[in-house]
Amino acid sequence: MIERTPVLDAVTHAVLISGLLLLLMPLWIVFVAASHDFQTVNQVPMPLWPGNHLLENLSLAWERGNFDRVMLNSLIVAVGVTVGKIVIAALSAFSIVYFSYRLRMVIFWMIFITLMLPLEVRIVPTYAVAADALRPFQATLDVLGIPLDLPEWNLLNTYSGLILPLIATATGTFLYRQFFLTVPDELTEAAKMDGAGPIRFFLEVLMPLSKTNMAALATIMFVWSWNQYLWPLLVVTDHQNFATATMQLQKIVPGPAFGEPPIWNVAMAANLIVLAPPVLVTILLQRWFVRGLISTDK
Amino acid sequence: MAEIAIRNVRKTYGKLQVVHGVDLAIGAGEFVVILGPSGCGKSTLLRMIAGLEAITAGEIAIGGEVVNKREPRERGCAMVFQNYALYPHMTVAENIGYALKVAGLAKAERTARVAAVAASIGLTDFLDRKPGQLSGGQRQRVAMGRAMIREPKVFLYDEPLSNLDARLRVAMRVEIRKLHQRLGTTTLFVTHDQVEAMTLADRIVVMNAGKVEQVGTPQEVYGRPESLFVAGFIGTPGLNLLPGTLDPAAGVVHLEGGRRLAYDRQRWAGAPAGRVLAGFRAEVARLVRPGQGLDASYEFAEELGASRLLHGSLGGTVVVVSVADGRMLQPGETFGIEVAPSEVHLFDAETGRRLPGEARPSSRQSVPVLEAV
């Protein structure tokens, strides 16, 4: 239904704008707080217009929060998780949609069920596996009575430990599956007639066709993995070398790194820094993101 | 160029059998059209030849070699799909040349061959476009180019013209026929459109419900239908069929309602008495005064320009007569139909097959040309 009444238009816009203001207000306060010096920010009430200490606060936050290192860590983890998720999702969906084998639906539903088991639910067993990645195999061997001792493979305090447990993704598999189902069968058959094998078809036909899906998935997954907090906190004890940006934020207000009383202006500047990469990724990919989700561009 | 032999080929999906033992021999360089209504198994048969469907039972040989176990690309077939099935992200040149790229040909040779194929089907100016920027006819040509470039032993067309508008369809039909004349490649063409089949085919294979009903030249299929299905399916409109009882002694069919229709007694000398369906073409029936032939009650007319199709009811059966003159009839008015005995076809009412005991005509009289669509 499309209404074209001026009054309704005005009301609709009023609702939209107030919603937008409501959403942007906290961000604005973060920005304003990050741009004042220590005294101004602790006034009651806090000013609502930005001051002129933004760059100073940013550089202070960057330096004191060890952001050289943690931003790099976060970037490695987020990019690793995003790429890994896309590869795994595309491959598993390819297998489920294009190959017919007996356990196909069973496997699809098993993947689907993991949607109900996010990391937070299975965090203890996942931690146990991360502490010794070969332990499930060792347990299997023990049950089967095979006297073989596997070495311990510890993933704690490594990038692999940060990345691998976050990679498996039902969402991505499901998104790709839905996309592959919309690819006409005749295209697959044409590729078969042209002599392309499954790998060629996957790389040269399906992958280029799913570019927009990939962008959508990448955006969601980058933001999601950048914002991961619980898992890095658990798996990383070597905070000097492996802390991620979100972990570092936790220490800023108030904490050992910055001390009492809380230095809100620097803390908010640190917030702005950590906020920037996901915002940039979203802005850069949003054109494809929207196309990928509505998925009409084929 | 290769001959195709199809021996007792069956296809079942679970318990559902869609192709019931098809036997067919297609000569090298022949243009064969498989014609039938949707769901008759014609596409399935074509896809089994291409290797896109597994063959449940029987054998298919291309060029004397049984290909049941061969991958599609090893069978030397090229296929043109109904929805073109072009790769949307590749340019026209990449689409046409993809098979060569997969085969690992050097880029220079690929470009040269793509250019040659594109020139032969008038696509030279479109090589850099994506399929989305082409019209339906151009896409169809790209699909044909993609099939041609592999220089296949067999061309397979799966209802390639059904997505085009009527005028383009006629134009593409001509192009496909010319292409076949130029290359001489064995061609199998699946369609549900009998005009397409009549105009393109060297031989037509009429299929229904997973079985072959009749194989023959367009003239044979039109002029001597082997079954009620072929009689009703071929020709616009199909054969008029009137139920009745055959009386070989008198040389007539006693129609329901007491009317009599004379048939060629010498030709059907061996025909047994019994329940039959007597058929005649709308084109051969003549309009006469009421009482001088079979009386029918007029219902409505279809105007075709050169002629009109009068629809009438004859003892409850629909009859269609093609007339050239413009005399208008009123609904309910009675008109007479006269059919020459030599134009009457007889079918067994039980089996639906053409009545046995017919002397094979040495040479058919000329067959009326079908009007183009």
Mean pLDDT of the B287-310 span = 87
Is A143's Cβ below 8 Å from some Cβ in B?
A: no
Mean pLDDT of the B163-187 span = 88
pLDDT at A258: 55
Q: Which two tokens stand for residue A181?
A: 């189902």
Q: Which two tokens stand for residue B74?
A: 């090893």
CB B227, CB B352: distance < 8 Å: yes
Residue B62 CB coordination number (10 Å): 22
Facing residues of B276 across strands? B244, B348
User: How does pLDDT run along chain A (298 residues), one tens digit per residue?
Assistant: 676 788 888 999 999 999 999 999 999 988 888 888 877 777 778 778 887 878 888 888 888 878 888 889 899 999 999 999 999 999 999 999 999 888 888 988 888 888 888 888 888 888 888 888 888 888 888 888 888 888 888 888 888 888 888 887 788 888 899 899 999 888 999 999 988 889 999 999 999 998 888 888 888 899 999 988 888 888 888 887 888 888 888 777 665 555 566 778 888 888 888 989 999 988 888 877 777 666 544 4
For the cut 60, the answer to whether the pLDDT of residue B371 exceeds it is no
pLDDT at B90: 92
Residue A1 resides in a domain? no
How far apart, in Å, do the first and last CA atoms of chain B sit? 31
Q: What is the CATH number of the domain that holds A234?
A: 1.10.3720.10
Q: What are phi and psi of B127, to 5 degrees?
A: -60, -30
Report the gap between the CA of A22 and the closest CA in chain B (Å): 42
Is B178's Cβ below 8 Å from some Cβ in A?
A: no
pLDDT at A242: 83
CATH architecture type of domain B4-223: 3-Layer(aba) Sandwich (3.40)
- Taking the C-alpha atoms of residue B167 and residue B173, their distance in angstroms, rounded to an integer, is 10
Question: How many domains would you assign to chain A?
Answer: 1
Residues of B139-154 as b/e, b for ≥16 C-beta within 10 angstroms?
bbbbbbbbbbbbebbb
- Taking the C-alpha atoms of residue A128 and residue B371, their distance in angstroms, rounded to an integer, is 79
Facing residues of B95 across strands? none
- Taking the C-alpha atoms of residue B177 and residue B122, their distance in angstroms, rounded to an integer, is 16
CB B143, CB B161: distance < 8 Å: no
**Average pLDDT of the residues of chain B:** 88
Single-letter residue type at B209: A
Closest residue of A to B100, CA-based? A194
Q: Do A190 and B87 touch (CB under 8 A)?
A: yes
Residues of A151-184 as b/e, b for ≥16 C-beta within 10 angstroms?
eeeebbeeeebbbbbbbbbbbbbbbbbebbeebe
pLDDT at A268: 85
Domain that holds residue A157: 6-294
Q: Which two tokens stand for residue A245?
A: 């940006």
Q: Do B146 and A196 touch (CB under 8 A)?
A: no
Return the percentage of chain B with pLDDT > 90, whole number.
42
| Three-state SS sequence of A8-38 | HHHHHHHHHHHHHHHHHHHHHHHHHHHCCCH
Read off the pLDDT band of B31 (50, 70, 90): very high
Residue A83 resides in a domain? yes
Cα separations (Å) of B365 from B159, B324, B373? 32, 21, 24
The answer for B 6-65 residues in CB contact with A (under 8 A) is 50-52
Residue A212 resides in a domain? yes
- Among A33-42, B38-47, B50-59, the minimum mean pLDDT is found in A33-42
For the cut 70, the answer to whether the pLDDT of residue B363 exceeds it is no
CB A57, CB A269: distance < 8 Å: yes
For the cut 90, the answer to whether the pLDDT of residue B266 exceeds it is no
Strand B345-348, strand B308-314: pairing: unpaired
Residue A86 CB coordination number (10 Å): 22
Class of domain B236-348: mainly beta
Strand B77-80, strand B154-158: pairing: parallel
Q: What are phi and psi of B356, to 5 degrees?
A: -70, 170
Domain ranges of chain B: 4-223, 236-348
Mean pLDDT of the B346-355 span = 89
pLDDT, tens digit, for every residue of B64-89? 889 998 888 888 899 999 888 899 99
Instruction: Mutation target for A interface from B44, B74, B79, B155: give the one with most A CBs within 10 A.
Output: B79
Single-letter residue type at B54: A
Residue from B258, B308, B303 nearest B285 by CA: B308
How far apart, in Å, do the first and last CA atoms of chain A sit? 27
Is A183's Cβ below 8 Å from some Cβ in B?
A: no
Q: What are phi and psi of B231, to 5 degrees?
A: -60, -40
Is A193's Cβ below 8 Å from some Cβ in B?
A: yes
Residues of B219-239 as b/e, b for ≥16 C-beta within 10 angstroms?
ebbbbbbbbbbbbebbbbbbb
Q: Which two tokens stand for residue B285?
A: 């029936």
Instruction: Mutation target for B interface from A194, A202, A210, A297: give the one with most B CBs within 10 A.
Output: A194
Helix (H) or strand (E) holding A172: helix A170-182
List the alpha helices (DSSP H) in A35-66.
Answer: 38-41, 54-64
DSSP 3-state of B132: helix
- Taking the C-alpha atoms of residue B33 and residue B313, their distance in angstroms, rounded to an integer, is 34
